A and B are shown apart, each in its own frame.
Chain A
Amino acid sequence: MADKDDDTTEEEETESSEEETEESSSEEADTSDDDDSEDEGSDDGDTQEDDPEKEFFEPAPAPADHEHEHEGHDDHDNPMGHALPVKMLGGVLGLLLVLTVVTVAVTYVDLGVLNLAVALLIATVKAGLVVTVFMHLKWDKVLNTFAFVSSVLFAILFVSLAMTDRSEYQKDIDSYIEDNPPAEPAAPAPAAASAAAPAAPAPSAH
């Protein structure tokens, strides 16, 4: 984790020149970039020193964890996290786009059942990238990760139990349909359905 952050801070410094496209805020951007590369936890120090809009953001008190300054890059030091370098974000975007192309390409290869599995796997990798990097969950509080993971688990619980049941009684439905075949087996469903549901008024098509 620490190594990675060192890399990213270097990237930031090289980038700050690119970011000087704005006239008004380039200076601030530059300074805060530099400070950011020193330590993510010292934002408030920056604002006190060279922030033209001090009055709005003042007074900024020293956070409780100030003593951790310059002690490596523990991301949990600053409760508000840290700014992600643009290169990292861009890299993730690149990966996501590549994966999108791959997932489309795979559909031209017939893998049988595996097609669905591969498509879902790629989607999950993409989702993982978005969640960990774009949504900052990798550096976030464990509580937030826990909340998000639990939502996925509960969704899976819901879907899987409902599916288990449906697949169990599917044979009852099939045997019922077998015993009571629709008037024209090959006819499209709506025709059969409209006969079966006289009470349902047909909504307008547009």
Chain B
Amino acid sequence: MAAPTTTADQVLDPHPTKEDNYFTAEKGVLSWIFTLDHKRIGVMYLCSVMTMFALGGLFALLVRIEHWTAGPTLDFVTPDMYNQFFTLHGAIMVFLVIIPGIPAALGNFVLPLHLGAKDVAFPKLNLMSYHMWLLGAAFLVLSMVLGAADTGWTFYTPYSTTTTTAVIPALFGAFILGFSSIFTGLNFMTTIHKMRAPGQSWFRLPLFLWAIYATALIQVLATPVLGITLLMLIVERGLHIGIFDPALGGDPVLMQHFFWFYSHPAVYIMVVPAFGVVSEIIPVFSRKRMFGYKFIALSSVAIAGLGFLVWGHHMFTSGQSVVASTIFSSITFLIAIPTAIKTFNWVGTMYKGRIHLDTPMLYALAFLWVFTIGGVTGIFLAVMNVDIHLHDTYFVVAHFHYVMMGGAITAFFGGLHYWWPKMFGRMYNEKQGRIGSIGVFLGLNLTFFPQFIMGTRGMPRRYYNYLDEFQDLHRLSTIGALLMGVSFLFTAYYLIASLRKKHDAPMNPWGATTLEWTTTSPPPYYNFHKTPPVTQGPYDGYEKLWYDEKVGGYIEKKKD
């Protein structure tokens, strides 16, 4: 990619006209709500996703605090409410935060910039998918008001067709969110296929885009099945058609097949974009070319493909046949290969690099540590007989959160800090950023590591009360959750505080060589004044960039 060719003076004053900043290009609330600009849509996604993250986090904290003692702890949390809290926590975090988090919020902002394009292929569809996200979120919130669903985010029959809580609004909300996700994936896939800058071959794409592409593949191929599953569940619950309801001759295990055909690939919708973010951060902050670029790129696609063949490993105890369980279990082991390839290459990239421990890099390192634990415990669970023992225990909860929270959310925050200067044109306080990231990392491990131990000792998930012997470990976990909560609040504080400063972000604060850093921070309405030609790989040319004190960022080295 062309390294920035701007002089220091230009970088210091990057906003000569108001069109040069997508924030000021148009004014008024309506110009945001009906914008077709992918950057604004990305920012709106970001704000909405963060709001939902706070809400989902609040439910998580309530669940954790309830576990402070073995019996009832909080006066106002009844067992039924406890069920609703973990359902809402799960549904919000999965459907409203993690799935749209990296692809829709960060991806929307970064993807066209990475391609040197002016926008995504279908801007109106992009806006529609955001509006559908809002509508879906509204339905989920509505279900909270109407007596929140208590089925868990998996909506298993026959409980979901017989419980008296408001399951249909929650199902309908998830249905709409599914279509929002499909349209985002469809849009991104088309964009990557058709909107690449001249010279940008597939193997010159930043790895973030490979990850987004693999994610979009899953979104397009798997999410429709979720759509029909939820629709069938809504109809089953509303009209009792007897496809999933055993009392009417239906098959509840079939429902689980339907659900996991989507939802196992969906965990890759959640985590593959995280791989992409980490792949962007690590070479930049190691000042070193990506090690094994093609392997990382293709392993994303391999994960997406293999992810379709393993859904039955969620159903080892459901009544699924032994034949199917065996097939699913063995394929599950294969997933470890592309994932390990990635981890190996990230570590290989850092080896002998000049590592800068800035906030995004700290998040990426946290990701490596935490995700490896999460991934390896996933292999434990893929072993059928081990899974029979660990199924529905806190071990599964811990595994899932190490991957989702430690993987997807950590990478999301890494990416947020990495692209924050580009999105908003402001640098956050670096020192506070480092403190926040360390707080998140410690809180995360403190919360979920004790849960592994509890799980192996037989603490079942989704229980309101528990045996006294687990109390110490539960308390450790709760303390960790509170620490994490405080760290996230602190992060929100310094990020918002940075917005109150005046523009101070240079074009290229980290010395990256992907295309988004060749335009101003924040970018102009049309992203680039000229479609940037691509002449080198996305992680080449770090040696040409030098840090300039006066600019506060990196500029191209002068030939003198």
Q: Do chains A and B touch in the complex (CB under 8 A)?
A: yes
Contact in complex: B240, A200 (CB < 8 Å)? yes
**What are the interface flags for A58-73 relative to B under an 8 Å C-beta threshold, 1 for contact and 0 otherwise?**
0000000000000000
Minimum CB–CB distance from B182 to chain A (whole Å) comes to: 13
| Residue ID in chain A nearest B257 by CB atoms | A162
Measured in the bound complex, the distance between the Cα atoms of B221 and A150 in whole Å is 9
Contact in complex: B193, A199 (CB < 8 Å)? no
Contact in complex: B321, A169 (CB < 8 Å)? yes
B308 within 8 A of A: yes
Stretch from A23-31, A124-132, A151-159 contacting the other chain: A151-159
Contact in complex: A200, B162 (CB < 8 Å)? yes
Contact in complex: A158, B225 (CB < 8 Å)? yes
| Residue ID in chain B nearest A154 by CB atoms | B221
Contact in complex: A169, B312 (CB < 8 Å)? no
Indicate whether A157 sits within 8 Å of B248 (C-beta atoms), given known contacts A164-B323, A168-B322.
no
The secondary-structure label for the interface of chain B is helix
Please give, as numbers and ranges, the residues of chain B lying within 8 Å of A157 by CB-CB distance: 308-309
**What are the interface flags for B221-260 relative to A under an 8 Å C-beta threshold, 1 for contact and 0 otherwise?**
1000100000000000011101001011101011001100
Measured in the bound complex, the distance between the Cα atoms of B248 and A202 in whole Å is 12
Minimum CB–CB distance from B334 to chain A (whole Å) comes to: 16
Contact in complex: A200, B321 (CB < 8 Å)? no
**What are the interface flags for A163-183 relative to B under an 8 Å C-beta threshold, 1 for contact and 0 otherwise?**
011101100100000000000
Contact of B240 among A150, A166, A196, A203 (CB under 8 A): A203
Contact in complex: A161, B249 (CB < 8 Å)? no
Indicate whether A143 sits within 8 Å of B193 (C-beta atoms), given known contacts A165-B324, A168-B323.
yes
Please give, as numbers and ranges, the residues of chain B lying within 8 Å of A162 by CB-CB distance: 254, 257-258, 261
Measured in the bound complex, the distance between the Cα atoms of B170 and A110 in whole Å is 48
Contact in complex: A166, B162 (CB < 8 Å)? no
Indicate whether A154 sits within 8 Å of B308 (C-beta atoms), given known contacts A193-B242, A200-B247.
yes
Measured in the bound complex, the distance between the Cα atoms of B511 and A130 in whole Å is 53
Chain A: residues with Cβ within 8 Å of the partner, total of 23
A118 within 8 A of B: no
Measured in the bound complex, the distance between the Cα atoms of B193 and A193 in whole Å is 52
| Contacts across chains A and B counted by CB atoms under 8 Å | 63
Chain B: residues with Cβ within 8 Å of the partner, total of 29
Indicate whether A203 sits within 8 Å of B308 (C-beta atoms), given known contacts A143-B193, A158-B225, A168-B322.
no
A117 within 8 A of B: no
**What are the interface flags for B204-221 relative to A under an 8 Å C-beta threshold, 1 for contact and 0 otherwise?**
000000000000000001
Measured in the bound complex, the distance between the Cα atoms of B241 and A47 in whole Å is 56
Minimum CB–CB distance from A69 to chain B (whole Å) comes to: 25
Minimum CB–CB distance from A68 to chain B (whole Å) comes to: 21
Measured in the bound complex, the distance between the Cα atoms of B309 and A143 in whole Å is 23
Most chain B CB atoms below 10 A, which of A143, A154, A165: A165
Contact in complex: B312, A165 (CB < 8 Å)? yes
Please give, as numbers and ranges, the residues of chain B lying within 8 Å of A172 by CB-CB distance: 319
B536 within 8 A of A: no
A104 within 8 A of B: no
Minimum CB–CB distance from A186 to chain B (whole Å) comes to: 15
Contact in complex: B245, A166 (CB < 8 Å)? no
Contact in complex: B254, A166 (CB < 8 Å)? yes
Measured in the bound complex, the distance between the Cα atoms of B319 and A190 in whole Å is 25
Indicate whether A168 sits within 8 Å of B247 (C-beta atoms), given known contacts A154-B221, A158-B225.
no
CB pairs A–B below 8 angstroms (25 shown): A150-B221, A151-B221, A154-B308, A161-B312, A161-B324, A165-B312, A165-B321, A165-B323, A165-B324, A166-B251, A168-B321, A168-B324, A169-B253, A189-B249, A193-B242, A193-B248, A196-B247, A197-B240, A197-B245, A200-B162, A200-B240, A200-B245, A200-B247, A202-B240, A203-B240
A positions within 8 Å CB-CB of B = 143, 150-151, 154, 157-158, 161-162, 164-166, 168-169, 172, 189-190, 193, 196-197, 199-200, 202-203
